[in-house]
A = this chain, B = another copy of it.
Amino acid sequence: MTLPDTMQGLVCREDGYSGRSEGPTIENLADWVSLESLPVPQPSGRQVLVKVGLANINPSDLHYIKGEYGQPRRKGVPAGFEAMGTVVAAGNDPAAQRLMNHRVAISVVKSGSGAWATYALTDASTCVPLHPGLRDEDAAALIVNPLTAFAMVRLAKEAGAKSFVMTAGASQLCRLMASFGRDEGLTPVAVVRREEHRSLMEGLGAFVLNSARDDFPAMLKQMIGECDPRILLDAVGDEVSAAIFGSMGRKSRWIVYGKLSPTSPPLPSLGQLVFSGKRIEGFWLTEWLGAASPDQRREAFETVQARFVSGAWKTDVSEVMPLSEAPDRLAAALKGMNRGKVLLRP
A283 CA to B277 CA, complexed, in Å: 7
Q: Are B267 and A266 in contact (CB under 8 A)?
A: yes
Taken together as a complex, chains A and B put the C-alpha atoms of A284 and B276 apart, in Å, by 9
Give the number of copies in the complex: 2
Pairwise interchain contact A278-B271, C-beta atoms closer than 8 A: no
Shortest A9–chain B CB gap in Å is: 25
A69-B275, A284-B275 known; A270+B265 contact, CB < 8 A: no
Closest to A242 in B: B267
* Distance between Cα atoms of A281 and B273 in the complex (Å): 6
Is A282's CB under 8 angstroms from B287's CB?
no
Check A270–B287 contact: CB distance below 8 A: no
Q: CB-CB < 8 A to A258: which residues of B?
A: 270, 274
What residues of chain B lie closer than 8 Å to A264, measured between beta carbons? 266-267, 269
Kindly supply a per-residue 1/0 record for chain A positions 170-211, scoring 1 wherever the CB is within 8 Å of any chain B CB and 0 otherwise. 000000000000000000000000000000000000000000
Query: Is the beta-carbon distance between B277 and A287 smaller than 8 angstroms?
Result: yes
Residues of chain B with a CB closer than 8 A to A265's CB = 266-267
What's the Cα separation between A256 and B284 when bound, in Å? 24
The docked-state distance in angstroms from the alpha carbon of A265 to that of B258 is: 20
Chain B: which residue is nearest A69 at the CB level?
B275
CB contact between A267 and one of B63, B277, B280 (< 8 Å): that residue: B280
A46 on the B face (CB < 8 A): no
Neighbouring B residues of A280 by C-beta, 8 Å: 267, 273, 279-281
In the complex, A346 has a CB within 8 A of chain B:
no
Q: Do B279 and A273 have beta carbons less than 8 Å apart? A: no
Q: Taking the complex as formed, is A313 at the interface, i.e. its CB lies under 8 A from any CB of chain B?
A: no
Contact among B70, B242, B276, B283 with A271 in the assembled complex (CB-CB below 8 Å): B70
Contact A237 B279 (CB under 8 A): no
- Kindly supply a per-residue 1/0 record for chain A positions 259-299, scoring 1 wherever the CB is within 8 Å of any chain B CB and 0 otherwise: 10001111101111111111111111001000000000000
A173 CB to nearest chain B CB (Å) = 14
Query: In whole Å, how far is A263's beta carbon from the nearest beta carbon of chain B?
Result: 8
Asked if residues A275 and B267 are in contact (CB atoms below 8 Å), the reply is no
**Nearest CB of B to A59, in Å:** 11
Q: How far is the CA of A283 from the CA of B280 in the complex (A)?
A: 13
A68 interface residue (CB < 8 Å to B): yes
A21 at the interface (CB under 8 A from B): yes
Chain B residue numbers with a CB within 8 Å of A237 are 267, 270
Known interface pairs A275-B69, A275-B70; A282-B270 also in contact (CB < 8 Å): yes
Check: A257 CB closer than 8 A to any chain B CB: yes
- In angstroms, Cα B258 to Cα A6, docked, is 61
What B residues does A270 contact at CB under 8 A? 21, 63, 68, 237, 256, 258-259, 282
> How far is it, in angstroms, between the C-alpha of A263 and the C-alpha of B257 when the chains are bound?
26
> Measured between alpha carbons, how far is A277 from B256 in the docked complex, in Å?
10
Query: Shortest Cβ distance from A58 into chain B, in angstroms?
Result: 14
Partner of A274, one of B257, B263, B275, B277: B257
With both chains docked as a complex, state the minimum distance between the C-beta of A35 and any C-beta of chain B, in angstroms. Answer: 28
- Smallest CB-CB A-B distances: 4 pairs: A70-B275, A273-B282, A274-B282, A279-B281
A-B contact pairs, 25 of them (CB 8 A): A21-B271, A63-B270, A70-B276, A237-B267, A256-B273, A256-B274, A264-B269, A265-B266, A265-B267, A266-B266, A266-B267, A267-B267, A267-B280, A273-B282, A274-B282, A274-B283, A274-B284, A275-B284, A276-B282, A277-B281, A277-B284, A277-B287, A278-B281, A278-B282, A279-B282
